Every structure is written in structure tokens, then in C-alpha cells.
Amino acid sequence: MFKRYDRLAIDLPKPKFADPNAAAAVQELLGGRFGEMSTLNNYMYQSFNFRQRKKLKPFYDIVASITAEEFGHVELVSHTINLCLDRVTFPGDPDTAPLQPGKDARMSYHYIATAQTSFPVDSQGSPWRGDYVVSSGNIVFDMLHNFFLECGARTHKMRVYEMTSHPTAREMIGYLLVRGGTHIIAYAKALEILTGADVTKMLPIPNLDNRAFETAVKYENKGLSNILYTWSETDYRDIDKIWNGPNPMTGEPLQVIIGAPEGAPMTDLEDRPEEFAPGVSYEDFMEIARRLQRNAGL
């Protein structure tokens, strides 16, 4: 089972300008084949379906704990899309076509279906698909797939970074390049323990350091590329059987932290009357409060 915190992985900047087509590009990092919905669901199903989890506990623990981190990445990318879409349109009478910017935006679903928020689809609006999940039951194949999946995720993040200068999108991508780098190494080390093959010699894929991306530098400097979290106060501690020794990219010592990172405040969105969202006015809210008080006999 899962425990939830009303926190975001990092503090996302809230710029005064929107970039609706950046939001459309960032959708690929959420609902694309190599997006966070895919990493989450691949590791989640591999952990649900794991055979002999006691005998192979370090491998189970690493897949299960990274699942929890990916849940937070789905959340972070979704909030990034929401902030890229903040202040695209403004309230107005229907006859003034207040949603007109949505007509020329790349992704019309953002205006028609979700009131200018995220959606588990890719950058072309195609739904995220369950058959992006590989849960073969063969542990070497699954670890190799996860290594490949994280390298694909890194490639797409780097390309979306190069497509947009929106500060929220770049902050999120800088952080996720660093965290994804730890997952690439985790699966590489799991493969080495299982088979003796050192796939870290292929890294980085693509062949460009995280530090080439401005927003990744501070997360690298904080040492976040050396840390894996257990995401649990009590469980998944055998990840240290895999996550130990020097970081193959930098030589710095790898470290396991029990529990979850502190996180940052959750973002909130203003109302969008032109989208009828949330559809509860201040007057409605006061009437609801009065009714609740009456019902409680106050």
C-alpha cells in the first residue's frame, strides 16, 4: 500500500507568463512511451508480479522503492504542465470567445477536456497505453528493459528541454535528469550483479553530462545523483545491497537515505470562470458553509 504527502518533489517556479505549446511538449514526459506514466507503471507492475521476492529481495526492493519515486514524478510533471498553462485565457462573456487561444494551441484537449490542466496523454494527444508496460517475469530482461526505459526517458527530457525555455518546464527537467540518472545507474548495477556485464560503460546515453543543462547543476551540486531513497520508514532497505560503492559516472560515494525527501509546497491553481472551473463561486461557497453549519446544529 502507499502513503501520500501533500508535497511536491521540488519547488516549481510560478512564472507570470504561460507557454501553452511548451505544456503540449511536456505532455510527452508524462504520457508518452518514455514518460513518467510508463516508468511508474513498469516498476509498479514488476513489483506486484515479482516472484521469489524474499530470495531476490535487493532486486525487489529497488524496483518497489523506485516505483514510489516515479509516482512523485508523475505528480511533478503534471503540476509543471498546469503551471505552463496558467494564464493562457481570461474570463469573459461567451460571445467574446474567451477560450480563443485554445483554438490555435497545439493541444486543444487542454481547453476542451481538462480546463487547462494535465492529462495522461503524449505530446500529440494519444492516450498513455498499458502495453507500454514490460513485466516479463524474467528479472534480467526486466532490469535490461528498465535501463533502456530510463535512457529513453533521459533522451526525451533532453529534447523537450531544448524545445522550451519556460522556467517551470526547465526546472522540472533539470531535477528529473538528475533523478533519472540515479535510476539508470541503479538498473545498471542490478544487471552487473545478476550477469557480470558492466553496462555503465555505455553511459551517459545520450553522451552529454547533466551539467550541460543549467537547471540540473544545483541538483548535481546537492549530491542528488548519488542518493537513492527507500521511500519507506520500515521497508525496502536492501536497496543498499545494490546501491553502494562509487558512482560510476563521478567516483563519488553512493548513499541510501531511509524514507523520503522533504519535498516542497504543493502548487495551487486559481479559478478559471471561462472554463466553469471549479464552478463554485465565492457566494456558492458561503451558502455551502451556512448549510453545513445548519446541518450541524450550529
- Positions in the binding site for Mn ion (CB under 5 A): 36, 39, 70, 73, 180, 183
| 243-to-149, 184, 249 alpha-carbon distances in Å | 19, 12, 14
The rounded distance, in Å, linking the Cα atoms of 88 and 98 is 10
Q: Which is nearer to Mn ion, 183 or 189 (CB)?
A: 183
Of 166 and 183, CB closest to Mn ion: 183
Task: Dig out the grid coordinates for 57 from the structure.
Answer: 529481495
Residue type, 81: I
Identify which of residues 58 and 180 has a Cβ nearer to Mn ion in the complex: 180
Question: Would you say 150 or 238 has its CB closer to Mn ion?
Answer: 150
CB of 115 to Mn ion, least distance (A): 26
Residue 70 CB, nearest approach to Mn ion (Å): 5
- Phi-psi sector, 160: left (phi>0), alpha (psi -120 to 50), beta: alpha
Task: Give the residue with the Cβ less far from Mn ion, 20 or 181.
Answer: 181
Closest distance to Mn ion from the beta carbon of 27 (Å): 15
CA distance 80 to 26: 8
* C-alpha distances out from residue 105 to 82, 110, 151, 166, Å: 15, 9, 30, 16
Q: Are 271 and 278 in contact (CB under 8 A)?
A: yes
C-alpha cell at 46: 514488476
Residue 179 CB, shortest distance to Mn ion, in Å, is: 6
SS3 127: strand
Residue 39 or 41: the one with the smaller Cβ distance to Mn ion is 39
Q: How far is the CB of 94 from Mn ion (least distance, A)?
A: 40
Say how many C-beta atoms besides its own lie within 10 A of residue 71's C-beta: 18
Q: Closest distance between Mn ion and the C-beta of residue 29, in Å? A: 9
CB of 92 to Mn ion, least distance (A): 38
- Smallest gap from residue 154 Cβ to Mn ion (A): 9
Is the Cα dihedral 275, 281, 287, 293 positive or negative? Answer: positive
How many other C-beta atoms lie within 10 A of the C-beta of residue 42? 23
What are the start-end ranges of the H helices in the chain?
20-31, 36-48, 57-84, 100-104, 109-112, 139-163, 167-195, 217-221, 282-295
Residue 36 or 275: the one with the smaller Cβ distance to Mn ion is 36
> What letter represents residue 134's amino acid?
V
Which lies closer to Mn ion via its Cβ, residue 73 or residue 272?
73
